[in-house]
A and B are shown apart, each in its own frame.
Chain A
């Protein structure tokens, strides 16, 4: 009984993903059950459509810039939270950094939309980056925190005793020791930024449509297998990034 139910659940969980991948290789414009022919025409079509290609490039740029900013600032902040003097404000700051996980994306998206319009940031790359930095920071900070906590404080004391400054302790001891954690934080932040839809829909102007937003808009007026090809590439990219993350030990940290 349990086995049958589990198999049914696995089918349910994976069906939409499998169907998308299947569809992307189907020659016809509608989903065909008996898989008669194999075709790459929708991949060609998706590369030929400039809307998707430009959106992909924008998503990569946005993910890279915001993940870089978030990873660097999260590293500094996580270090301060770990080694700073125990004051009450510190916990408050930590709660603030993690709270975007609790505040619904729709609510933050609306707030950001109104804010950016009032302050002339709407339809700018800068505004988009800032919105993404907020969304991805909880993930970056969590990941970096857990890798930082593996650095024994005695090592830092030893370095300081030998005359190292704070900055050089951070640069030459802490950074190398948790470089894997920082890389994992960067990749995870990139992945989340790259696939973020809800906040982005509210803050993207017409000239800055990320790939997921472009797909969303495309789906609201038509369905054709070009989207299946794009989606399959997105799935492959996510799997690749997740495998790298798992190697770096990043996924274990999120689960906590």
Chain B
């Protein structure tokens, strides 16, 4: 009887095992293996597992890789800032609509997320390329002589990723604005605040945590994006994931490719950790108050 009870309580846990094995075997192990690879020297014949080294990590400080990292971070911050600035008015507008209209509009803003990244990049290239919609329209209007360079540079990446990751700032912001008690705004207006003051001193502070949460997610997604920057930035505006792709798949230098992957992982995990820290700190502050 006792053994039976024991088995009944452990029973459900056994159901966990198949998925656990797959995740350990094909997810945790590959990641650990890549970390191990990154600490061994690279030889033309393959990875030299007999020696341990830090040279792959030292190489990350090379100006080329460092610059790529910094450029990627700079572009990612810019995309995040643009997205935040654009998401606010959109979210405010959506919140003011009827429930049905809200759902419909959110679905439209969701659409780009549901469309394949490769397809979106192709669409952007039809719009932004030298022979694309924008350049041809401007030329026919006689506004420009030579076509504007809108892709295969940072501009292309920024346009593509602002669109691609817009939803991840919009959704939390919309949720926060929907939860906002309208009486707070009425009270502020009654006390003589202008619309700008209401926004800056009531709406913005209350919705700031949601904005920050969305902004951090947006930033990490920008840092790690691959297909969009590869197709719209190309080899002239290399981002770190594209360089990691070249090192791993073209140079086949896995130890260094692994070090690049780990650097990218850390660069995306730190903001996530920071945003969680911020959230818990805020909660602690609220409890104190």
Residues of the A chain whose Cβ atoms lie less than 8 Å from the Cβ of B166: 13
Taking a contact as CB atoms closer than 8 A, the residue among A1, A20, A105, A113 that contacts B119 in the complex is: A20
The answer to whether A216 touches B231 (Cβ under 8 A) is yes
Does the CB pair B90–A5 fall under 8 Å?
A: yes
Docked-complex contact A2 and B89, CB < 8 angstroms: yes
Closest-CB distance, A117 to chain B (whole angstroms): 8
Q: Residue A164 at the B interface, CB < 8 A? A: no
Whether A130 and B26, one on each chain, are in contact in the complex, defined by CB atoms closer than 8 angstroms, is yes
Interface SS majority for chain A? helix
Given contacts A2-B93, A33-B136, A80-B16, contact A110 B272 (CB under 8 A): no
Q: Which of A41-49, A95-103, A176-184 lies at the binding interface? A: A95-103
Query: A13 touching B109 by the CB < 8 A rule?
Result: yes
The CA-CA distance from A6 to B104 in the complex, in Å, is 14
CB–CB A73/B19 < 8 A? yes
Give Cα A117–Cα B46 distance, bound, in whole angstroms: 11
A-contacting 9-mer, from B142-150, B177-185, B203-211, B257-265 = B257-265
Residues of A within 8 Å of B89, CB to CB, are 1-2, 5-6
A16 and B151 alpha carbons, distance in the complex (Å): 14
Tell whether, in the assembled complex, residue A137 and residue B231 are in contact, meaning their CB atoms are under 8 Å apart: no
Please name all residues of chain B whose beta carbon is closer than 8 Å to the beta carbon of A77 when the two chains form the complex.
15-16, 18-20
Report yes or no: B27 in contact with A108, Cβ–Cβ below 8 A: yes
**What residues of chain A lie closer than 8 Å to B133, measured between beta carbons?**
19, 31, 33
| 8 Å CB interface, A216-255 against B | 216, 219-220, 223, 227-228, 231, 234-235, 238-239, 242, 255
**A102–B90 alpha-carbon span in the complex (Å):** 27
Contacts of B57 in A (CB 8 A): none
> A1–B16 Cα gap in the complex (Å)?
53
**B66 in contact (CB, < 8 A):** no
Known contacts being A6-B89, A10-B108, A84-B13, is A104 close to B268, with CB within 8 Å?
A: yes
Residues of B within 8 A of A220 (CB): 230-231
| Surface stretch bound by A, among B29-37, B186-194, B277-285 | B29-37
CB nearest neighbor in A for B38: A114
The answer to whether residues A17 and B248 also contact, given A198-B226, A215-B118 and a CB cut-off of 8 A, is no
In angstroms, how far is the closest chain B Cβ from the Cβ of A163? 14
In the assembled complex, which residues on chain B have CB atoms less than 8 Å from the CB atom of A6? 89-90, 93-94
| Known A13-B163, A212-B118, A231-B116; contact A107-B265, beta-carbon cutoff 8 A | yes
Closest A residue to B241 by beta carbon equals A106
Asked if residues B115 and A111 are in contact (CB atoms below 8 Å), the reply is no
Residue A23 interfacial (CB < 8 Å): yes
CA distance A77 to B269 in the complex (A): 26
Q: Which residues of A contact B93 (CB under 8 A)?
A: 2-3, 5-6
- Determine whether the beta carbon of B27 is less than 8 Å from that of A20: no
- With A6-B93, A15-B127, A212-B118 known as contacts, the answer to whether A114 contacts B33 (CB < 8 A) is yes
Instruction: List the B side residues contacting A100 at CB < 8 Å.
Output: 27
| A238/B23 contact (C-beta < 8 A), A76-B16, A111-B261, A118-B33 known | no
Q: A162 interface residue, CB < 8 Å from B?
A: no
Given A6-B93, A242-B114, check contact A111 B34 (CB 8 Å). Answer: yes
Pick the contact of A79: B15, B111, B171 (CB < 8 A).
B15
Are A106 and B127 CB-contacts (below 8 A) given A17-B120, A212-B118, A215-B119?
Answer: no
Would you give the 0/1 interface string for B119-130, flagging 1 where the beta carbon is closer than 8 Å to chain A?
Answer: 111111111010
Evaluate contact between A235 and B115: CB separation under 8 angstroms: yes
A173 and B22 alpha carbons, distance in the complex (Å): 27
B22: chain A residues within 8 A (beta carbon): 69, 73, 130, 133-134
Other 20 A-B pairs with CB < 8 A, given A104-B241, A107-B262, A223-B122: A31-B132, A73-B22, A76-B15, A79-B15, A85-B10, A85-B13, A90-B16, A100-B27, A106-B226, A110-B248, A114-B258, A115-B26, A115-B30, A197-B226, A198-B117, A202-B249, A216-B118, A216-B230, A219-B118, A234-B116
**Could you jot down 7 A-B contacts, CB within 8 Å?**
A14-B108, A16-B123, A131-B26, A191-B114, A201-B226, A202-B248, A216-B227
Of all A-B residue pairs in the complex, the 7 with the closest CB atoms, nearest first, are A16-B123, A104-B224, A115-B30, A76-B15, A111-B30, A80-B16, A73-B19
